[in-house]
Every structure is written in C-alpha cells, then in structure tokens.
C-alpha cells in the first residue's frame, strides 16, 4: 500500500495567495480613499475660494458707509431730506384732496438707505458661502438697523404728512426746518443703539470675525494666540448733525462735553 505524499508547498502557496488577495484589497481601498479625498479636496478648495470672495464683498459692503470714496458714505445719505421732498411733491399734486380729507393717505417714502440695507440682508440670511457665526452677526446688525430706521422714518414722515393735511404748516422748503426732523431721527438712532459711531464699531467687530475665520486656515497661527483682539472701545465719537444754517456739521465730540449736541445725541458715552 502506497502512502500518499503530502504537498510541502500547498499550504504555503495558499497562505501567499490569501496574503496577495488581502494586499490587493487593501491597495484598492487605499486607492479609493485617496481618490475620494482628492475629489473632496478639490470641491472644498473651490468652496473655500467662493467663501473668501463672498466674505471680501460682504466686508466691503458693510464698511462702504465709512469709506469717503464710496457712494454710500454716511455724510452723503440724505434720507430724511429726500423723504420730505417726496411728501412735498405728492402734497403739491394732490393738495385739494388731501386738505379736504385732512388726512394723508398716500403712504410714506421708502428711503434709499433702508432699501440698501434690505438688499444686503436678504441674501445673507441663507447664503451658503457665509459662515454661521458671521451670518448671525450680520443678520442681527442689519435687522436691528432696518427695524429702527423704518420705525423712525415712519413716525417722523407720518407726523409731517398729517400736519400738512391738517393745514398746520406749509411744506418745508427751508433747510433748517428739514434739518430739525433729521436731527430728531439721529438722536433716536443713537438712543436705540444705531448711531453712526455705534454702527461703525459693530462693523469693525464683524470684520474682526471675518479675519478670525481667515486666521483659522493659517498654518503658522497657533491656538494659544487666541482670537484677534477686538477693536477697543472708542472715546471719541462723530456726530452726524445737520445744524441750523449749515448743510452739514461733522464734528468730533469728547465724552463729558457740555454741548447740547453731545448730551442729547449720545447720552452717556461710556455706555456705548
């Protein structure tokens, strides 16, 4: 009887074959992961480019009110004066009807500054290229400003228009008369936290958030360096005041000033 011979190399070949298949599978998985990572990196890089472009535009749009070369530079905005002109125009064309009704039913003007802020706000609310924390700060600022300005304009324009309808005064054509309305709006803006100096500080805060976002991609910045320091609270404030007999007064006011414009417009400057 012949004893079957054992295959000395059979088991070894099987082990080698299994190892080959395992290595092949591992290589396939790693290749897939590398390809997927490369695709995702390309998508992420393109996304980040768009985020950078969007944040740059947003930063410029927010700061344009404080850029002297911009068309929206705050001393150039004459929302109250333009609104009064519009009301006067409607009143002149419908004088008899309005005076007979003793009520102004023609609505109030939609000012350019509120229109601009609304155009800035609407896309930011759901913009996928604006990071969440930056979006929250921008939306909070713009919504507050729109609410305050719309309320103040409605109050002052309705009061002026209804006084016209009741014959309490003629349409204001003198600059001093319109400036009084403008100054009341400015005073209330400051009291409600939406004065020029307060808005400028808020805009700098948002731009600091944008800088922090960019810093998060800086490989040379270390965690212990923390966030970029915020802009220090200012002790000097600019008042946007139309004074009687002057078309525009752009003055620097110091805390503790005894002038009526500083006290009335800003209240206690240390609370800003």
Q: Which domain holds residue 98?
A: 74-216+229-271
Q: pLDDT value at position 238?
A: 41
For residue 212, how many other CB atoms are within 10 A of its CB?
16
Q: pLDDT value at position 271?
A: 39
* 3-class secondary-structure state, position 87: helix
Q: Which of left, alpha, beta for 20 (phi over 0: left; psi -120 to 50: alpha)? A: alpha
**Residue 244 maps to a domain:** yes
**Residue 4 maps to a domain:** no
**Residue 52 maps to a domain:** no
**Residue 205 maps to a domain:** yes
Each residue's pLDDT expressed in tens, for the chain with a length of 272 residues: 555 555 555 666 777 777 777 888 887 777 767 666 665 577 788 888 999 999 999 999 999 999 999 999 999 999 999 999 999 999 999 999 999 999 998 899 999 999 999 999 999 999 999 999 999 999 999 999 999 999 999 999 999 999 999 999 999 999 999 999 999 999 999 999 999 999 999 999 999 999 999 888 776 665 555 565 454 444 333 434 443 333 333 333 333 333 333 334 333 433 33
Q: Considering the entire predicted model, what is its pTM?
A: 0.70
**Nearest Cα residue to 173 out of 247, 248, 88:** 88
What is the tally of structural domains in the chain?
1
Q: In angstroms, rounded to a whole number, what is the distance separating the alpha carbons of residues 205 and 262?
A: 24
**Residue 69 maps to a domain:** no
Place of tokens 């969440």: 132
**Residue 165 maps to a domain:** yes
**Residue 129 maps to a domain:** yes
Instruction: Write down the H helix ranges in 94-246.
Output: 95-101, 112-125, 132-165, 175-191, 196-215
**Residue 157 maps to a domain:** yes
């Amino acid at each position: 009887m012949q004893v079957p011979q054992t295959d000395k190399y059979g088991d070894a070949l099987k082990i080698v074959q299994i190892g080959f298949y395992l290595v092949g599978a591992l290589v396939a998985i790693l290749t897939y992961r590398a390809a997927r990572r490369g695709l995702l990196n390309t998508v992420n890089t393109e996304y980040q480019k768009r985020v950078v472009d969007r944040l740059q535009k947003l930063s410029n749009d927010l700061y344009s009110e404080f850029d002297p070369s911009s068309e929206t530079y705050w001393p150039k905005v004459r929302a109250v004066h333009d609104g009064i002109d519009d009301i006067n125009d409607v009143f002149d064309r419908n004088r008899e009807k309005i005076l007979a009704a003793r009520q102004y039913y023609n609505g109030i003007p939609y000012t350019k500054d509120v229109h601009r802020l609304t155009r800035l706000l609407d896309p930011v609310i759901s913009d996928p290229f604006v990071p969440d924390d930056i979006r929250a700060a921008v939306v909070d600022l713009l919504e507050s400003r729109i609410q305050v300005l719309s309320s103040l304009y409605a109050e002052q324009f309705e009061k002026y228009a209804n006084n016209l309808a009741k014959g309490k005064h003629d349409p204001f054509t003198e600059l001093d008369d319109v400036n009084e309305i403008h100054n009341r709006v400015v005073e209330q803006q400051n009291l409600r936290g939406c004065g020029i100096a307060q808005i400028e500080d808020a805009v700098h805060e948002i731009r600091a958030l944008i800088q922090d976002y960019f810093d998060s991609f800086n490989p040379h910045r270390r965690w212990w360096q923390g966030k970029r320091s915020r802009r220090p609270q200012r002790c000097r404030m600019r008042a946007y005041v139309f004074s009687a007999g002057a078309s525009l007064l752009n003055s620097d006011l110091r805390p503790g000033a005894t002038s009526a414009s500083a006290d009335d417009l800003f209240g206690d400057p240390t609370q800003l």
